[in-house]
Structure 1
Amino acid sequence: MNITELLSTERVVCSHDVASKKRVLDLVSELIAAGGDKLDSRAIFDSLVGRERLGSTGLGNGVALPHGRLGGTEHALGAFIRLAKGVDFDAIDQQPVDLVFALLVPEHFTDEHLKILAYLAEMFSDRVFCERLRATTADAELYTLLTRWTPSDSIMT
């Protein structure tokens, strides 16, 4: 999988200061909508919140992968935020989340959706990689790290 198919530099934000899970979901919805695909940020937000109601997408170790489905798009889109301070995301380990990768997929995506989520889960289970993300201080550096990660990188963790 090539993560550049999901992300653009405009949808990667470093050190954003937010205080709640709701605001995080609102922010990633705005980032995805601003990606030029003429999507409504409110519809994206509603999709992400609807999925969160089924169970938290907080994976643990400070990582969350909120995701949802939406009509009106033909390809998957992502946004990434490294928060300045962790927020309560109802994660399985009850720890605050500071790394958030949001994913929006078309309604008709089934296998593709699961493959993308599996790839992202593998990426964010790489503790060394996550520490590199946390140490980064610029949006462009974050984007570079995210787009250059490969599954073979995780062998070193």
Structure 2
Amino acid sequence: MNDLSDLVAPEAILPRALATSRRQAIQMLCEALAKAAGIDPRVAFDAVLLRERLSGTGVGEGVAIPHAPVAGLKGPIGAFARLDPPQDFGALDGRPADLVFLLLAPPDRGGDHLKALARVSRFFRHADMREKLRAARGGDELYALIAGAVRSDAA
């Protein structure tokens, strides 16, 4: 199973984000990621909201992957949150998302953005990983799962 160690910022993992809306969840993730990446949180938030207006980023099974290009980044970077309560990200299955991975990438590296988005999508496709993420006890355990330090399948 692939890991996302080169994408996720350990300090941008929110084990229990108390968001009352999709917009608030995105804002919380953008603020956490902006600190880790040294970018303006408002610029990131505006870019992600613009992308969300095109179509929802819910991928189903309680997962959403909001994403957008943002200037000032050297490469793709992500933040992760478990939302409480889950929020509607427009998934085709109608299920609100409780597992949200926000992905930002430089605007001039569209290919890298798409590759990173595909990797994140593949990562969350595994039901056993989604359940382990939901059961994790805190930020360190979540990071270990996302970064691949804990495998969901036997060797």
**TM-score normalized by the length of structure 1:** 0.90
What count of residue pairs does the alignment treat as equivalent? 153
In structure 2, what residue type is equivalent to 1:65? I
Q: Residue in 2 aligned with 1:46?
A: 46
**Is 2:13 aligned against 1:15?**
no
Q: What percentage of aligned pairs have identical amino acids?
A: 35
Change (3 A) 1:114 1:128: same
Q: What's 2:30 paired with?
A: 29
Describe how 1:56-67 pairs up with structure 2 within 5 A: 56-67=56-67
Give SS of 2:95's match. coil
Q: Is residue 139 of structure 2 the alignment partner of residue 139 of structure 1? A: yes
Contact 1:126–1:154 (8 Å) recurs in 2: no
Higher helix proportion: 1
> What is the rounded CA distance, in whole Å, between the counterparts of 2:152 and 2:132 in structure 1?
13
Any stretches of 5+ residues in structure 2 without a counterpart?
none
Q: In the aligned structure 1, how far is the partner of 2:17 from the partner of 2:96?
A: 15
Question: How much has 1:148 moved relative to structure 2?
Answer: 0.5
Contact 2:48/2:66 (8 A) holds in 1: yes
Cα separation, partners in 2 of 1:149 and 1:128, compared to 1, 3 Å? farther
Aligned-pair RMSD on alpha carbons?
1.9
Contact 1:123 1:149 in 2 (8 A): no
Give 1:43 shift.
0.3
Q: Which residue of 2 aligns with 1:111?
A: 111
